[in-house]
Structure 1
Amino acid sequence: MSIRSDYHMHTHHSGDSKAPMEDMIECSIELGLEEICFTEHLDLDYPTCYDDLPPEPFTLLPGPYREEYEKYKAVYGDRISMRFGVEIGMQTQVADQNNSFIEENGFDFVIASIHIVDGKDPFYADFWEQDTIENIYKKTFDTTLENIKCFDNFDVLGHLDYVCRYAPAGDTTYSYERFKDQIDEILKYLVSHDKGLDFNAKILSKDPNGMPNPCPAALKRFKELGGKIITIGSDAHRPEKIACGFDRMRDIALECGFTEYYTFEKRNPIAHKL
């Protein structure tokens, strides 16, 4: 495995993970990683309609998160580089709050993601009951473009086509080509504003032959349009998911024309050869 940095992972500081931070660090070291970045969730104004979640499940407490991060950085810093990151859930009505949160907390790295469209989460079945699947995809990409135009304080766009992970069983309507016009507008905006993409391996922890996010065709198009920065992350919420599928991720990135991937320190990108 030549990719030595996992730049998307979560611990118990995220509402959808129970993983101890120390376990994530130790597993990363065992896998031979040289650098990791914790990217805990902040999803303000997350919908309250889901009974399996506590109230405000993705409200991140930066104080305890920073304290534990610094504690383990002191313990493990001579064995692995650690970075302090966040995954911001974008919604236009909380853009100013998200920006203030980032400015106040000195993150090394910021992922901006779309997890909510029209007040619902694609993870849940009711999301897919709102409209036709094709219209839902179109709405999701329109929402993504709208949000990155009103919220600029991020380094990479998270899992661009995340929505396709949770499409109803048997659905095959998603492809870059089918939604090319909308996806290209997103990619062009990212390129023109020196933003990167989170190349996200989460699906590969369940299906080694699955399609990462963004799909290879969209990643290749990003490169063709002048895109430069990609970070590579497992989106692990448990230690055993760290660095999942990274050999395949490297192969795809190379096939799409990339020769480097990036890490960040104090919001500054650092290139590494694939």
Structure 2
Amino acid sequence: MISFDSHLHTRFSSDSEADPRAYIQLARQKGMKGICFTDHNDYDFPLEDGKVVFDLDFKAYLDYMLKLKEEFRGSFDIRVGVEQGLMKSVASRVDSYDPENKLDFVIGSSHLVEGEDPYYPSYWEGRAVKDTIIKYYESIMENIKTCHNFDIYGHLDYIIRYAPEKDANYNWKDYYDYFYEILKSLIYQGKGIEVNTAGLKYGLKNPNPDINIVKLYKELGGEIITVGSDSHSVDYLGYEFDRVYNMLKELGFKYYSVFKDRKAEFYEI
């Protein structure tokens, strides 16, 4: 089984109210070895209702999580991370994040297309879907060239969750050249990718990214794979991990990764 969920959001993220202790309790009931909290930090995210979204109170977050980690030391494995929003315009702030190296793990993700949020149906009005998806992948290419302070790239084809017809008419091969360049760049930088099961929760045929993209990553020499539910509520902890386990095994992966002190540890599949 996949015994470690490496992508979880709690009440420290503005889009979650989940209690960290509730995650721990359920993970232990499920027989998991550990979890990694990865609350959102997204510099310059568009304002909603007059407040900054995804502006993590890093000190409060770290103080709480490190105390929790210490409380359960020896009985349950807790790691502390952040999901960092990547954009060229905030690269210097991203790369200077956590200067005292307190975190175990940093997921690098892109949530915006040219500064706008594709989560909302109104975003897609009057836009050509394929052109918009291309712009998103172009932004990822720019982001990973300018931002370097992350360990793995999160939910690579995230935008498909919110496209008007999701993946009904989506063919990953239409964007092959972008994936090839993105994955080659990540591998060259020694960074991994995530298999994020929230895509399945959103009704997609595949996790994020499409399992064929994970296959391409392996074919290009990539070895570092983390698995995360991207859960914003406790109910989705470890969501569809059995399915991902089988997918990775079929692709020939021998290990998945969990990060500690910003270094990958390898767990046998």
Q: TM-score range by the shorter chain?
A: over 0.9
2:5 maps to: 6
- What is residue 206 of structure 2 aligned with on the other side? 211
Note the C-alpha offset of 1:156.
0.3
Q: Deviations over 1:54-110 (max 9, x none)?
A: 511211111111121122223322321011100000111111111112334521111
For the residue of structure 2 that corresponds to 1:198, the secondary structure is strand
Kept in 2, the 8 Å contact 1:109–1:267? The answer is: yes
1:33-72 maps to which residues of 2 (within 5 A)? 33-48=32-47, 50-51=48-49, 55-72=51-68
Match of 1:224 in 2: 219
2: CA distance between counterparts of 1:139 and 1:241? 30
Runs of 4+ with >3 A deviation: none
Partners of 1:8 and 1:93 lie apart in 2 by 25
CA 1:170/1:29 → structure 2, altered by over 3 Å: closer, same or farther? closer
User: Which segment is superposed worse, 89-98 or 169-178?
Assistant: 169-178
TM-score by length of 1: 0.94
Could you say which residue in structure 1 is the equivalent of 2:156?
A: 160
Among 230, 234, 237, the residue aligned to 1:235: 230
1:16 offset after TM fit, Å? 0.6
Task: Give the match's secondary structure for 1:263.
Answer: strand
1:106 aligns with 2:105: no
% of aligned pairs identical? 38
Change (3 A) 1:214 1:171: closer
Structure 1: runs of 5+ lacking an equivalent: none
Corresponding position: 1:81 with 2:80: no
Q: Deviations over 1:95-153 (max 9, x none)?
A: 11111123345211110000011121111123213521000111110100100000111
What is the one-letter code of the residue matched to 2:98?
Answer: I
> Which residue pairs with 1:267 in the alignment?
262
RMSD across aligned positions (CA): 1.5
User: One-letter code of the match for 1:63?
Assistant: K
What is the Cα deviation at residue 195 of structure 1? Answer: 0.7
1:258 matches 2:253: yes
Q: Is the 8 A contact 1:159 1:200 kept in 2?
A: yes
Corresponding residue of 2:147: 151
Query: Residues 40, 46 of structure 1: CA spacing in aligned structure 2 closer, same or farther, 3 A cutoff?
Result: same
What is the letter of the counterpart of residue 29 of structure 1? R
Larger mean Cα displacement after TM superposition, 11-20 or 99-108: 99-108
Q: For residue 103 of structure 1, give the secondary structure of its aligned residue in structure 2.
A: coil
**1:23 paired residue number:** 22
The 2-side partners of 1:149 and 1:66 are apart by 28
Confirm or deny: 8 A CA contact 1:29 1:79 kept in the other structure. Answer: no
Question: Unpaired segments of 5 or more residues in structure 2?
Answer: none
Secondary structure of the corresponding residue to residue 101 of structure 1: coil
Paired residues in the alignment total 269
**Contact 2:195–2:228 (8 Å) recurs in 1:** yes
Q: Is the 8 A contact 1:260 1:273 kept in 2?
A: yes
Distance of 1:157 and 1:190 partners within structure 2 = 8
Letter in structure 2 aligned against 1:226 = G
Whether the 8 Å contact between 1:62 and 1:105 is mirrored in structure 2 is no
